[in-house]
Amino acid sequence: MKIDVTEILKTPGEGMSFQVGGEVPIPETMDGAQAVGSFVVRGVATSTGLGVYVDAHAVGTVELTCSRCLGSFTKEMELDCEAEFVEDPDGRPQEEEPEVSVFALEGGVCDLGEMVRHEVLLNLPMKPLCSEDCKGLCPVCGKNLNEGDCDCEKTGFGVTAFGRKLLDALNETERGKKNGRS
């Protein structure tokens, strides 16, 4: 997902429109997230004299794992992206924090995949849900409750041994406060 900007680099203020498509790699460290299909990115690249400013809109699909039922589902994403591409991002003057993300411009080419990946990661939900009314998994047998009810015994369910000890400790603390102990 690269665009060649060598024609506009030497003329500050000159711009060019583009539309490119390609895969966006999402690292495996993201629990259950991976790029699916292609993202299409369209926008404008403008020379700044020191590099290129890119303002773009990306559309694509990401495959996620539901945090309640652990099922796989796809999510359409539409992202507005903006970034600056410069020859040496680390060598820029650090007078102030840049207003947009800065990426490397290599040989007059902007790799938009990194810019889009950055925006995808920022826009992924913290707890992805396949649907708002997802019922999740049975805490006793692990059956996906979206596929139907399970037949397991749920009596006594709720408080674990650790939870019982914690409740006892909290009750003991409250009794101590009522009796004048702190």
In sequence order, the 6+-apart residues with CB closer than 8 A to the CB of 38 are: 21, 22, 23, 60
Q: How does residue 59 score in pLDDT terms, banded at 50, 70 and 90?
A: very high
Nearest Cα neighbor of 26 from 94, 98, 122, 93 is 122
Per-residue pLDDT tens digits for 111-157: 999 899 899 988 988 889 999 999 999 888 888 999 988 888 765 55
Give the predicted TM-score (pTM) of the model: 0.71
Distances (CA, A) of 157 to 93, 96, 135, 138, 161: 60, 56, 17, 11, 11
Q: In the chain, what percentage of residues exceed pLDDT 70? A: 81
Residue 157: what are its φ and ψ, rounded to 5°? Answer: -75, 145
Digit-coded pLDDT (tens) for 87-113: 876 666 566 666 888 998 988 999 999
Closest C-alpha among 159, 150, 153, 170 to residue 69:
150
Partnered with residue 61 across adjacent β-strands are 36, 76
The mean pLDDT of the chain is 84
Residues 119, 1 contacting (CB under 8 angstroms): no
Residue 44 is predicted with a pLDDT of: 96
pLDDT of residue 163 exceeding 90, the answer is no
The neighbouring-strand residues paired with 43 are 18, 56
Q: How confident is the model at residue 21 (pLDDT cuts 50, 70, 90)?
A: very high
d(CA 22, CA 102): 21
User: Biggest alpha carbon distance in the chain?
Assistant: 82
